[in-house]
Amino acid sequence: MLHRILFGNKENLTRRIYFWNLCAGLAVSFQSAVLLLAVKRAGGDFAGGVFVILYTVPQMLYALSTYSMREFQVSDVKGEYQFRDYYTSRLVTSALMLLACLGYGIVRGLTPYRMTVLLLLAAYRVTESIEDVYHGEFQKRGRLDAAALSVTLRVSISTVVFCIVYGLSKDLISASAGMTASALLIFLACNRTILGQFADVRRGLAANRLIRLLFVCFPLFLGAILYNYLVNAPKYSIDRILGEEAQTVFNILFLPVFVTNAVCLPIAKPMVKQMGVWWNERKAGDFVKAAVRQGLIILGINLVIIGGGYLLGCPVLGWVYGADLSEYPVTLAAFLCFGGIAALAAYLAIILTIMRKQWLIIAGYLTGYIVSLFVTDSLVRSHGIPGAGYAYGVIMAVVFVTLLCATIGGIVWGMKQNPRTEEEHGLSE
């Protein structure tokens, strides 16, 4: 039964890949919105603000757990590293992520209650991270649809479990434990079924190339850490300056921003392997056309989301969360515009990864980080909640411009360093 659900009909494979990848992206992006809604409705604004911070820390450190290695793994068309290398690295980075969350809790002096919630939410992210390395292998083998459907089931079911448990208990520990346990069960069931199709996947540990793999992917990890910090920097500033109630309002307004990534990035992921092939075969024309085409699609989707958010966003969010957002339609539209810029920047990071120019990613996010140190707190103090969004927009605009320049330079330099021969152009006799 589960096998039939996950694999479906091969005749519609391409359609299934895009559909379930989109569903998975939406499920992941809307999860935080649904969880916040459940906590706010049942526990109030203060509980919602507390939950946001505890949920955000593992979310940010999730980049440490995955090491942002998925696109690198999928575009490894030459098989330079084996699945066991990726799997071993994921175990190491996941352990480091748990230690980092524990260290954060100790440094911040969290109460035992909040520390327990934090570690349970971190354990949920570890489950997600281990699942991701398997799904990278499935994507390389052409079954991204099964992997994405598995994600959709895991996220949806675990979210429902959290909401039900919290609604009944008003206890974040019980709800977080229920969400983590249900996610683990769904992952094990789906993963075992999918692996049955790929009996040649060599599981186990392989430490001999671990250091090299972690070094090569370090720019991806550092870039992801910086990106997650930049996304959450306004939240930290609000937490320092405005307090829990303002934190809740800002997060309600900011949640639709993640819809942009949820809708746009799934468009890019199915093409990662093919673009990796084109880049390795030095087919610059095909590579650039695909990159530009997908970039324009992302831009078009952003415009639709911005228009819809301006007209319907505040009334719908206000009704769902029981908050008065009537003064924020322009602010919400601006947030969505900034989210679109962030989505384009994230897409450029994927392109640089495929090109194996991942060191250039650091330049973009490090520049954004430096800018954030000067603009975030000042804009929050001067403009309040809207100022947090404006700071995010300035930061992401800087990141996007930097990565765009790096991508163009990387393509030009890469083609000059590896020009195609006449034989490759089909000009030899």
Give the pLDDT mean for 315-342.
81
Specify the residue for token string 């920097």.
Answer: 233
Q: Which of 158-162, 382-386, 391-395, 411-415 has the lowest mean pLDDT?
A: 411-415
Q: Which of 110-114, 173-177, 207-211, 262-266 has the lowest mean pLDDT?
A: 262-266
- The pLDDT of residue 48 is 76
User: Percent of the chain scored above 70 by pLDDT?
Assistant: 92
pLDDT at 131 over 80: yes
Domain ranges of the chain: 1-216, 231-419
Q: Which of 204-208, 305-309, 363-367, 401-405 has the lowest mean pLDDT?
A: 204-208
Read off the pLDDT band of 429 (50, 70, 90): very low
Which residues, including other chains, have CB under 8 Å from residue 176's CB and lie 6 or more apart? 117, 120, 121, 124, 162
Read off the pLDDT band of 420 (50, 70, 90): low
- The pLDDT of residue 418 is 61
Give the pLDDT mean for 42-48.
76
What does the DSSP assignment read for 77-114?
TT--S-HHHHHHHHHHHHHHHHHHHHHHHHHHT--HHH
Query: How do residues 108-129 score in pLDDT, each as one tens digit?
Result: 888 999 999 999 999 999 999 9
Alpha helices in 79-217 (DSSP H): 83-108, 112-140, 144-169, 172-195, 210-216
- The pLDDT of residue 24 is 86
Q: Is the pTM of this model over 0.75?
A: yes
Query: How do residues 192-250 score in pLDDT, each as one tens digit?
Result: 888 777 766 666 677 778 899 999 999 888 888 888 788 878 888 887 887 666 777 77
pLDDT at 158 over 90: yes
Give the pLDDT mean for 329-347.
86
pLDDT at 425 over 70: no
- The pLDDT of residue 92 is 93
Q: Is 248 left (phi over 0), alpha (psi -120 to 50) or beta?
A: alpha
Give the pLDDT mean for 91-101.
94
pLDDT at 179 over 80: yes
Give the pLDDT mean for 347-355.
89
Give the C-alpha separation, 26 to 21, whole Å.
9
- The pLDDT of residue 200 is 64
Give the C-alpha separation, 177 to 355, whole Å.
40
Q: What's the length of the chain?
A: 429
Read off the pLDDT band of 164 (50, 70, 90): very high
- The pLDDT of residue 260 is 73
Give the pLDDT mean for 51-72.
87
Closest CA to 62 of 150, 151, 156, 128: 128
369's tokens? 């980080």
